[in-house]
Structure 1
Amino acid sequence: MAIASINPTTGEEFARFDALDDAEIETRIAAAHTAAQHYRLTGFDERARGLRAAADILDAESDTLAATMTAEMGKTLTAAKAEIAKCARGLRYYADHAADLLADEPADAGAVNASKAFHRYQPLGVILAVMPWNFPLWQVIRFAAPALMAGNVGLLKHASNVPQTALYLGDLFRRAGLPDNVFQTLLVSSSQIESILEDPSVAAATLTGSEGAGRSVGGIAGGALKKVVLELGGSDPFIVMPSADIARAASVATTARVQNNGQSCIAAKRFIIHDDVYDEFLDAFVAEMGAQKLGDPTDPDTDIGPLATEQGRTDVTELVDDAVSHGAKVALGGHVPGGPGWFYPATVLTDITPEMDIYGAEVFGPVAAVYRVSSLDEAITLANDTSFGLGSNIWTTDEAEADTAIRDIAAGQVFVNGMTTSYPELAFGGVKDSGHGRELTRHGIAEFCNVKTVWIA
């Protein structure tokens, strides 16, 4: 099987690689296992030096790396450079804080008849990371930084349409001074994941991707009795109540929907607007969305580049066409533009009903579904009427409304008067079909640790 880089701006292939065969995979896994036995004995200071050096490399090579990311998956150069800077920050965060996050945790020795009792966090070993193309650097770094600082080693199976970014990541930590084989990229097909995860040398896995991919990898991991963290899709609600700053909410809603060309699990996708401000919000939102420039992602004035794959655009087109055929109204966009590349414009749909596929689907493109509600209770009921539960937003200056939303929205995250995003300092993950486990902060670094209980007489 060939693994290829295809420029979504032109539809043209510009690089091709062969997948590793089974023998090569076994050799790579064995090398990772050997590296894990030594790397687990290194100290936080040594690991931190490697991560800080990796951050410095990212800073120094931002322009060339951003160009590669843009060419492979179509994000704007501006977005690519911002992603690289975020990765450097994440690396430095864990380099600075891992020792404290994983410090021995004292227990009540007297209560358990001990002179001393505590919990110690120790690495599990070799972790398989199955990662998506939409944030081809950040998705990997937010796993790798905490995992490596905890003393684990990583095997990366990246999306097949970003092989050059994957290979860059595979070499980054070696260049930064970490021992050989502590982090490796495996150019393999999805069909080879099962045998890798079932290998006794692989201790656990993490996957960011679709619900289907999560079910597959989760099932394999369960059968092999191995830990797995899953961050899957989202259909995040964006609730706007009458007390909100409507102009600000509409502006942030636009960014939240078109970020990364609309291809983000935590992008706001369902805009649930109270009757009292529905018309005002819709007018402002359509104006903001309509001002987004669709075009060449290397142009600094471009807001929305192409979708990453041809199939991705087909999926978005089919969802919009189905909605329109069942009575949805198109307030903006809704048509595939002519010319080369996999472009799709900023689109706003209203009058969405449960009979439409878009009602329950995750739309991976710059398409917003706008709903009208008459109360906060109705808004929360609609927000929860999805199989997903990743992020969510509520816009209100009423503290009681905010507290109710925080309590009742079924999601891993609630952002009040702001856009859902990820920070090293905040736990990241979802509930329901959006997956389980957490990434980032102390919750993320502990996911791939053995929490060892120590009792001393």
Structure 2
Amino acid sequence: MYRRETATIMETLQNLIGGRWEEPAGDDVVTVVNPATEEPFARFRPGSAEDVDRAVAGAGAAQPEWAALTVARRVEHLHAWADTIAAHAAELAELECREMGKPVGVGQSFIAGAVAGLKAAADQALTYPFTETVTGPGAAPDTSTGAGPAGERTDIVRHPLGVTAVITPWNFPVVMVLGALGPLLAAGNTVVVKPSERSPVSTVRLFELAAATGLPPGVLNLVLGDARTGAALTEHEEVRLVHFTGSVGAGRAVGTATGRRLSRSVLELGGKDPVVIDAGVDPVATAQAVAFGAFINTGQICTSMERIYVHERIADEFVEALVAAAGTFAVGDGLDPATVLGPLVDARQRDTVRRHVEDAVHKGATVRAGGAVPERPGYFYPATVLTGVDDTMLVMTEETFGPVAPVAVVSSFEEGLARAATSRYGLAATVYTDDPGHIAAAARLPVGVVWVNQWQSGGPERLYEPARDSGMGATGARAAYDAATRPAAVHIAAAAPVAGR
């Protein structure tokens, strides 16, 4: 839970273990800083290996009773939590703003989407085949005829894995927790969550709301901490699946740890998402859409538009409109309703963005908008448009994770696709075209998701798996339930042998 200390105006955060709020056992103190003011906002002690042990034990103790509930009852619990979250969306969005900078209006919009997503994911459990029957030959054949006995069947029963772990990033504290938990909990697993140490406050409040709705103790457990805490969780022998969202390096460590003990991992890692813009589209409308995809949440989205390839026939109009759109992203504290572009999460992230822009300029790129750190408190960086970029620059090869739109001009849609495919990342891509042949070609991009003419579109039945360094493990729709369960085959003969025959 979080406890406000009036003398310091700081929140002191605790772990949730087996239904009880506890002080973490670590010795260090981590301070969460409001990135708009650079003032301390919250603090906590990172969880130790002992904290992780207790959380996993609490989850393990609660799991049999949770799994014994009907699927419909588990879904009811999740719906009740979702409704409570919706009623507190403004409060959660404000906490996100204060811990990582997201403007409150933007945060509320994403939280509303996450609530709907949680309900949709939970509802999928009502039709998921936890038990399905396969009929026909398959058992040992009759020794006299060589055929399978008449009437035999095989039941495929999908069991929950047990205790699972979710490790979330700092850029969407509420959204990423809700996106992972629906299938895990609805399938009968219990969960230990470790949020990013850079933005844990909203997650703590999210778990307070879960407890208030009557979710059974131990079904959800929360351990605060840093990379050391995360390592203790991913290496724990009783954790059967780790759902991790974060950097490529940390994801490799998670995959190594789970692979060593033959447990599962679902990894969504970095992205360097391309945009390919065909000659026949409206350059002004497309530029406005790209500005949103590049600058929303200050570019701190794994699927932000970070590489833009525009056809030379519309390039001038597109760039002019993109520069104009960048000017509409007002920089400021996200608590101010007028703010569209909040700060970056901290000084380290802003330094990365500044370094990428400076590298591009040094190598010949031109700054058309933004491109300089404003002289004010807070970790702000303006919406920035670069032209004259090439694929050797950091802004085109490494994850910038900031409000930077680098634009490269291409002579054909085919060239744009080819350059879009040249990356070690493969999370998502967006194309703007009305040409059916070009749409078909775009579908072959080596990424998990291809959006055509609408960034971030897609319903609850969507499933995908990141490619290359962007992760592994299919997720979404049925794939999420497949990952959250273990199939077992039960072969049933037509009749048991009769004694004495």
Q: TM-score, normalised by structure 2?
A: 0.88
Distance 1:101 1:200 in 2: 28
1:19: Cα distance to partner?
1.8
Distance 1:396 1:297 in 2: 34
1:456 alignment counterpart: 492
Residue of structure 2 aligned with 1:34, choices 61, 69, 87: 61
The answer to whether residue 8 in structure 2 is matched with residue 8 in structure 1 is no
1:395 alignment counterpart: 432
Residue type matched to 1:85 in 2? A
Residue of structure 2 aligned with 1:151, choices 183, 188, 195: 188
Bigger Cα displacement from structure 2, 81-90 vs 409-418: 81-90
Task: Say if 1:248 and 1:340 are closer, same or farther in 2 by CA, change over 3 A.
Answer: same
**Does the 8 Å contact 1:4/1:163 carry over to 2?**
no
2:219 alignment counterpart: 182
Residue of structure 1 aligned with 2:45, choices 12, 18, 32: 18
Q: 2:448 aligns to what SS in structure 1?
A: coil
Residue of structure 2 aligned with 1:200, choices 228, 234, 237: 237
Residue of structure 1 aligned with 2:109, choices 82, 85, 96: 82
Distance 1:195 1:306 in 2: 32
**Does the 8 Å contact 1:328/1:350 carry over to 2?**
yes
Distance 1:170 1:102 in 2: 29
Q: 1:411 aligns to what SS in structure 2?
A: coil
1:88: Cα distance to partner?
1.6
The answer to whether residue 314 in structure 2 is matched with residue 277 in structure 1 is yes
Residue type matched to 2:74 in 1? R
Bigger Cα displacement from structure 2, 98-107 vs 393-402: 98-107
Distance 2:155 2:236 in 1: 32
The answer to whether residue 189 in structure 2 is matched with residue 163 in structure 1 is no
Residue of structure 2 aligned with 1:302, choices 339, 344, 351: 339
Q: 1:266 aligns to what SS in structure 2?
A: coil
Bigger Cα displacement from structure 2, 373-382 vs 70-79: 373-382
1:17: Cα distance to partner?
0.9
Distance 2:59 2:366 in 1: 54
Residue type matched to 2:489 in 1? T
Bigger Cα displacement from structure 2, 52-61 vs 351-360: 351-360
1:428: Cα distance to partner?
4.4
**Does the 8 Å contact 1:119/1:453 carry over to 2?**
yes
1:438: Cα distance to partner?
2.6
The answer to whether residue 271 in structure 2 is matched with residue 244 in structure 1 is no
Bigger Cα displacement from structure 2, 299-308 vs 340-349: 299-308
Tell me which protein shows more helix as a share of its residues: 1
1:211: Cα distance to partner?
0.8
The answer to whether residue 349 in structure 2 is matched with residue 312 in structure 1 is yes
Distance 1:429 1:272 in 2: 24
1:406 alignment counterpart: 443
1:36: Cα distance to partner?
1.4
What is the CA deviation profile of residues 223-277 of structure 1, one whole-angstrom value per residue up to 9, with x for unaligned ones? 1211000001111111110122322211110111111111000111111111111
1:421: Cα distance to partner?
5.0
Residue of structure 1 aligned with 2:82, choices 49, 55, 77: 55
**Does the 8 Å contact 1:142/1:439 carry over to 2?**
no
- Unaligned 5+ residue runs, structure 1? none
Task: Say if 1:73 and 1:428 are closer, same or farther in 2 by CA, change over 3 A.
Answer: farther
Residue type matched to 2:91 in 1? T
2:472 alignment counterpart: 436
1:446: Cα distance to partner?
1.8
Distance 2:366 2:448 in 1: 31
Bigger Cα displacement from structure 2, 138-147 vs 276-285: 276-285
User: May I ask how many residue pairs the two structures share in their alignment?
Assistant: 456
Q: 1:171 aligns to what SS in structure 2?
A: helix
Bigger Cα displacement from structure 2, 191-200 vs 430-439: 191-200
Bigger Cα displacement from structure 2, 442-451 vs 129-138: 442-451
The answer to whether residue 161 in structure 2 is matched with residue 99 in structure 1 is no
Residue type matched to 2:302 in 1? C
1:332: Cα distance to partner?
1.1
Residue type matched to 1:373 in 2? V
RMSD over aligned CA atoms reads 1.6
Task: Say if 1:223 and 1:421 are closer, same or farther in 2 by CA, change over 3 A.
Answer: farther
Q: 1:414 aligns to what SS in structure 2?
A: strand
1:175: Cα distance to partner?
2.1
1:18: Cα distance to partner?
1.1
Residue type matched to 1:372 in 2? V
2:395 alignment counterpart: 358
1:410: Cα distance to partner?
0.9
Residue type matched to 2:121 in 1? Y
Aligned pairs (5 A) from 1:102-113: 102-110=129-137, 113=148
Q: 1:40 aligns to what SS in structure 2?
A: helix
**Does the 8 Å contact 2:95/2:201 carry over to 1?**
yes
Distance 1:182 1:440 in 2: 22
1:60: Cα distance to partner?
1.5
2:498 alignment counterpart: none
* Bigger Rg, structure 1 or 2: 2
**Does the 8 Å contact 1:238/1:272 carry over to 2?**
yes
2:6 alignment counterpart: none
**Does the 8 Å contact 2:374/2:381 carry over to 1?**
yes
Q: State the identity as a percent.
A: 34
Aligned pairs (5 A) from 1:211-250: 211-250=248-287
Q: 1:392 aligns to what SS in structure 2?
A: strand
**Does the 8 Å contact 1:251/1:285 carry over to 2?**
yes
Distance 2:296 2:136 in 1: 50
What is the CA deviation profile of residues 304-353 of structure 1, one whole-angstrom value per residue up to 9, with x for unaligned ones? 10001110001100110111111111111100001100000000111112
**Does the 8 Å contact 1:54/1:88 carry over to 2?**
no
What is the CA deviation profile of residues 283-320 of structure 1, one whole-angstrom value per residue up to 9, with x for unaligned ones? 11111112221112112222110001110001100110
Residue type matched to 1:247 in 2? V
Distance 1:107 1:255 in 2: 49
- Unaligned 5+ residue runs, structure 2? 1-27, 140-147, 494-501
Q: 1:155 aligns to what SS in structure 2?
A: strand
Distance 2:163 2:363 in 1: 49
Q: 2:154 aligns to what SS in structure 1?
A: strand
Task: Say if 1:77 and 1:451 are closer, same or farther in 2 by CA, change over 3 A.
Answer: same
Distance 2:435 2:332 in 1: 40
1:97: Cα distance to partner?
2.3
